[in-house]
Chain A
Amino acid sequence: MATLTPARAVTLNALALGAVALVLAAAFAAQLVLHELPCPLCLLQRIMFALLAIGPILNIRFGPRPSHYALSLLVAVAGAVVSTRQVLLHIMPGDPGYGTALLGYHYYTWALIGFVAAIVLIAVILLFDAQFAPAPAAGGVARMAVWLVIGLVALNVLSTLLECGFAACADNPAVYELLKRGP
């Protein structure tokens, strides 16, 4: 079996952060370009994707450890449960689904595929024991990937605050609550 050195494992984790950033950015792009506000379950799936990044960040900072991968596995299973619930909400024939489909699937279906893919990929990476040795300090690309994900989550804080305001989020949001003009 090929050797996955600690340095290569850190690079893989930086790539994983890039994948999480891509998912969060794509969701943001759909929100801004299509003017479709995320529903509560959609927001929870975004949050789960963001939480998925904690394991890779810890791996880059402290070196690869099985416990860090376990965190991501827990989050991926929880994320799959959330997205499965939303898929089932729209499973009936004739249901148009929530939001616009991208390449034939809605965001929550892509999310379910993403979470299941994460579970499989993490399990495969855990097969390589050689990575669990002291790792070198993270390089510039890995550090940039960490700050990119943190920046995207910070943007989501702002966006969700604008969307929901200081009350519970609407089931089918149509306007940003904090940008709404008074009567």
Chain B
Amino acid sequence: MHMLTIDNLHARVEGKEILKGLSLAVKPGEVHAIMGPNGAGKSTLANVLSGRDGYEVTDGSVNFDGRDLLALEPEERAAVGMFLAFQYPVEIPGVNNTYFLRAALNAQRKFRGEEELDSMRFLKLVREKLKVMQISDDLLHRAVNEGFSGGEKKRNEIFQMAVLEPKLAILDETDSGLDIDALKQVAEGVNALRSPDRSFLIVTHYQRLLDYIEPDFVHVLAGGRIVESGDKSLALKLEEQGYAWLADHHPELRKADLAGAPA
């Protein structure tokens, strides 16, 4: 049984078709990495799945845990268990981080018909998660992401994930802008959250994050579709050889589709 089934997904941004028949299936507990050159549609995929405005799905379907995901509002997608770790987490001055997280968790619980947590029980939960994530509780008293360093923002994303306990976590270029120490900390956080019923979709341009989070599957997204799938050795091959070799296997890909090579 798949948790996520993307079938023949076509999506447009500002009238331009970016996803052109993308298909992908993810089972519970699996970690899938999606790699690809710049402009291949990696972030578009993450945004379409999370329901951001401005992305028009013109064909195809996404089934998440037995539901038509594309019919749900962003907040409903969160409530049924989807989580997007942002490439650029948003700073929200004036909104307290703890308040924000409790409002989010309780809104999700309410949607699912579960009892809301009072502030005592919530704080207890948060302290447990902070320990696991090795994050100081100073972060709780600050406004959401305000004045956070790049690394703190990404760790805050993973911390939110830990509190909200999604079924599927999408990491959108989480490694971008992180030095190696911050990258390791984020990866440790993610690894601590791996479980047989939680899946991950790791969207990344670089292979290095996958040194720390070992994927079960690696896919290459190019020209708006998954053109190659394999195990983690595929990521290493991309690291060594770039994307250009794909043209031999996929004559339909234009040179421009493969232009962005990994560093």
A joins B in a complex: no
Q: Which residues of B come within 8 Å of A, CB atoms?
A: none
Q: Which residues of A come within 8 Å of B, CB atoms?
A: none
